[in-house]
Amino acid sequence: MNTIGQDIPRRDGHAKVTGTATYAYETPADNAAYCALLQATIAKGQVTEIDITDALALPGVLTILTPGDVQKLTPVENTELHVLQDNEIAYRGQIIGAVIADTSDIARHAVELVHFTYHVDEHDSAYSPDRDDLYTPDKLVTGAPADTSTGDVDAAMRTATHTVDHVYSTATNHNNPMEPHATTALWQDDTLILWDSTQGVHAVRTTLAEVLDLRPDQVRVICPYVGGGFGAKGEPHAPVVIAALAARALPGRPIRLALTRAQMFVLVGYRTPTTQHTRVAADDTGRLTAIAIAATGQTARIREYVEHAGAATRMMYAAPNRATSHRVAALDVAVPTWMRAPGECPGMFGPEVAIDELADALGIDPIDLRVANEPDVDPESGNPFSSRNLVACLRQGADRFGWADRAPRRDGDWLVGTGVAAAVFPAFTMRATAAIRYDQGRYTVEIGAADLGTGAWTVLPQIAADALEVPLDQVDVGIGDTSYPYASTAGGSTGTATWGSAVLAAVETFRDKFGTDPNDGDEAEGTHDQGPFNEQYATYAFGAQFAEVRVHADTAEIRVPRLLGVFAAGRIINPRTARSQFIGGMTMGLSMALHENSELDPRFGHVMNHDFAGYHIASCADATDVRAFWIDEEDPHVNPLGAKGIGEIGIVGTAAAIVNAAHHATGVRVRDLPLTLDKLLPGLP
Amino acid sequence: MAPAGYRRGVETAITTRVDGTTRTTRVDTRTTLLDLLRERLGNTSPKKGCDHGQCGACTVLLDGRRVLACLTLAVTTHDHDVTTADGLAPDGDLHPVQQAFLDNDAFQCGYCTPGQVCSAVGALAELAQGHPSHAGDITADPEPTRAEIAERMSGNLCRCGAYTNIITAVEQAARG
Ligand code: FES
Ligand code: FES
């Protein structure tokens, strides 16, 4: 009867392999109109004149939205949503208008016929860790302080027998889900319906209702399928507000708006570059005496988002002297946001390469070095870990990967090496409510959750079926609609743990009320709302990443023929969808390691390589053998379900493992991502 | 700058067979096959990931050969056969490639998947016809090895990172 832990095929699989699953833009609608965005071609200044005469004269153009000519929006914390309120331009590519037309061809054509005149102000878009205007944020997005310090790192660095003191850096990365952000919007009978590509329908409803000055019950958001998000669809961004304004301008007419790939590089967030001054000190046995990271990054002048790259260093390893800090430059650039494993993903690059450098200097195996520095309790809070199976992941991974006898070798023209890095991601939950209804022998679970490809359509029925003690095929599920009970956004690896715990609560209420022999129409709700489920514990998932790297001895071409990860992430609900999430994260980590680098031209303030020809992501031939395993882990302290969340940890540590393997193969230590051949070539033997 | 009217689009009537059904439409001559399918004919099986021929999400079969629908002008498909991933499963009966994608969980969000499926069908046909690739000995008959499949499927990006499973799925389909 237990379906949790079983390999259950995806319920939405048939629809996805045939392409009949309908994403936001594809919502069937009669007489749709098409919206195309107008964007600023300067990085800072004001629109002084707009000429829409030619565009309006084009047959098929219905209306054009321009700055100051739309509804007054309610100011909210997320300032990027205040579209078209005035003539100010805060970054290049900002939305300064929209054309709505009968066809997408006409809309795009009309965009070319709108003429803007600007007053240009001097802009400043160049990030550097050496800027003299870096500031300390009030706190991190997690609520934690920007800086922490225990003991005396400087003194420990001076007296230690072995130290590593280097600057590591990660590049700007853009989330780039394959489905560009899209909305179909309809304003009818004083109600707004948004079929929106989002990680959280309720978050979109709450925010849009506030911005548009509507009651929440006047806004319905629907999103059965999401073509990936990786954080970029975690919060509503400016385009969905435009779609809503366009719908209001043309009542009764469905409006379709999809971003172009180039617009994905400016309007929906990104991971900022980080600079990580990392220091570690150790005695002869490899025991750390100090660990420190000073992280620097950038944010947008119009809205603060700070990548918390120093967070993982606070809890990862034992050391009496410790320090972390965050500094940030506010620039005339697009607004950054969450990208898969924000904080931990970039933040486990510098330190995990530094640990490898220390192991090298000490002549200690990097796995043994990590094991030697396992903390007994969370170094930051002093609380015990609810479970911490990093050592088991490292040991099991070493066995599976074939870590022993890892001497670098030469295979023809190729230099071959192996590398390892640790992974971590916090385990927490948010708030959600689930409803369960019984009708004619079947149970239906309803919850406003999202399935980004993560498997919610499939795993939520598993959780419900087991709790109800009924066969899986008697359970239906509805997600992705604000007409279902409130659910938290799919983010922070909290989805399954939060929604699943809500389902458990709903089943409990249902059984309490109606027993095991319910009548048709019986219905109950249950809520999970225990952010820190148990504050006496530090709750994290852990993992170990192993990489084999081959570097061509003449050209420095880099290949990663094998990636292997072992994770300890609590209870795994569905091994099939879980494995896909882990390997998906690892593959994105490989992509970050070898390819991804958004190049900003400070003269113009925009990302130059804003398409897949210029912004490379891993392709099929890059990732031919990526394997994921996990430790069976029971953790009653994280949440009622015992699941820690797996969407993000797969990307953490991957880049460090690859860089460490490249060093093992070649002897060349690269400290800034991406690891491209030009950085290896000069140092090759 | 010429007046707007001067640059207005030109329309023409075309007849295309889409997933076995003959469809006659008037299209703007600038319209791509992808927009024709998605925005005029209501067939949203092929996806738009870039509109620039860089991602493969829009891959369909044109007279059996894989093409990028976003780089194909609709008017050039007049009198031709277009097959989407939906058309590969008439009456819902999955094509062996689609079944292999399901069996191997070769996707997550599913947005790249119809393109991957069409691309795999095209790639297997090319292999069977002996088309060479960079991954193998171009003088020998190519075999559907993992390296060959990975090479031939590299025009289809998957941000969910399902590549390892995609290769396994295509291997399974190649075994028949
Ligand atoms: S949409 Fe055609 S290749 Fe990307
Ligand atoms: S399955 Fe999501 S992009 Fe491939």
Whether the CB of B158 sits within 6 Å of ligand 2: yes
Centre a 10 Å sphere on the Cβ of residue B110 and count the other Cβ atoms it contains. Answer: 30
pTM of the model: 0.97
Over 80: is that where the pLDDT of B8 sits?
no
Same-domain pairing of A667 and A541: yes
The answer to whether residue B38 is domain-embedded is yes
The answer to whether residue B35 is domain-embedded is yes
For position B31, which CATH number holds? 3.10.20.30
What pLDDT shows up at residue A535?
82
Q: Which A-chain residues 478-507 have CB contacts (< 8 A) with chain B?
A: none
Same-domain pairing of B74 and B113: no
pLDDT, average across residues A453-460: 97
The answer to whether residue A110 is domain-embedded is yes
The count of domains in chain A is 3
Sort out which chain A residues have CB atoms less than 8 A from B30's CB and list them. 105
- The mean predicted confidence, pLDDT, of chain A is 97
The answer to whether residue B5 is domain-embedded is no
pLDDT, average across residues A484-493: 94
Residue-by-residue DSSP string for A392-423: HHHHHHHHHHT-SS---EEETTEEEEEEEEEE
Q: Which residue of A has its CA nearest to B85?
A: A18
Nearest listed ligand to the Cα of residue B57: 1
The answer to whether residue B151 is domain-embedded is yes
What pLDDT shows up at residue A500?
96
Same-domain pairing of B41 and B84: yes
> How is residue B157 written in tokens?
């990006």
The answer to whether residue A383 is domain-embedded is yes
| pLDDT band at residue A533 using 50, 70 and 90 as cut-offs | low
Which protein residues touch ligand 1 with a CB less than 6 Å away?
B 48-51, 53-58, 68, 70
Helix (H) or strand (E) holding A655: helix A654-666
Nearest ligand 2 atom to the CA of A178 is 3
Residue span of the structural domain in which B47 resides: 11-88
Same-domain pairing of A110 and A162: no
Nearest ligand 1 atom to the CA of B56 is 3
Same-domain pairing of A382 and A456: no
Contact A587 B114 (CB under 8 A): no
Is the CB of B55 inside 8 Å of chain A's CB atoms?
yes
Sort out which chain A residues have CB atoms less than 8 A from B104's CB and list them. none
pLDDT 10s digits, A56-108 = 999 999 999 999 999 999 999 999 999 999 999 999 999 999 999 999 999 99
| Percent share of chain A, pLDDT over 90 | 98
Contact B165 A176 (CB under 8 A): no
| pLDDT band at residue A530 using 50, 70 and 90 as cut-offs | confident
What pLDDT shows up at residue A1?
63
Identify whether A648 is a catalytic site residue. yes
Same-domain pairing of B119 and B53: no
Whether the CB of B160 sits within 6 Å of ligand 2: yes
The answer to whether residue A17 is domain-embedded is no
Is the CB of B73 inside 8 Å of chain A's CB atoms?
no
Residue-by-residue DSSP string for A272-309: PPEEEEEEEEE-TT--EEEEEEEEEEEEETTB-----T
What pLDDT shows up at residue A177?
98
ipTM over 0.85: yes
What pLDDT shows up at residue A129?
97
Over 50: is that where the pLDDT of A155 sits?
yes
What pLDDT shows up at residue B136?
81
For position B154, which CATH number holds? 1.10.150.120
Last residue of a domain, one of A249, A265, A281: A265
Same-domain pairing of B78 and B100: no
Same-domain pairing of A77 and A43: yes
Same-domain pairing of A420 and A476: no
Residue span of the structural domain in which A297 resides: 148-173+270-427+536-683
Over 50: is that where the pLDDT of A636 sits?
yes
The answer to whether residue B39 is domain-embedded is yes
Same-domain pairing of B66 and B128: no
The count of domains in chain B is 2
Q: B89 CA to chain A: closest CA distance, Å?
A: 7
| pLDDT band at residue B1 using 50, 70 and 90 as cut-offs | very low
Over 70: is that where the pLDDT of B2 sits?
no
> How is residue B139 written in tokens?
């003088």
Residue-by-residue DSSP string for A496-519: HHHHHHHHHHHHHHHHHHHTTSPP
Last residue of a domain, one of B54, B88, B122: B88
Same-domain pairing of B142 and B116: yes
Q: Of the residues A179, A380, A548, A648, which is catalytic?
A: A648
Separation of CA A50 from chain center: 37
Sort out which chain A residues have CB atoms less than 8 A from B85's CB and list them. 17-19
Same-domain pairing of A497 and A524: yes
Identify whether the C-beta of residue A273 lies closer than 8 Å to the C-beta of residue A172.
Answer: yes
Is the CB of B46 inside 8 Å of chain A's CB atoms?
yes
Which one, of A271, A269, A247, A242, lies nearest residue A258 by Cα?
A242
Centre a 10 Å sphere on the Cβ of residue A567 and count the other Cβ atoms it contains. Answer: 32
Q: How far apart are CA A233 and CA A268, in angstroms?
A: 8
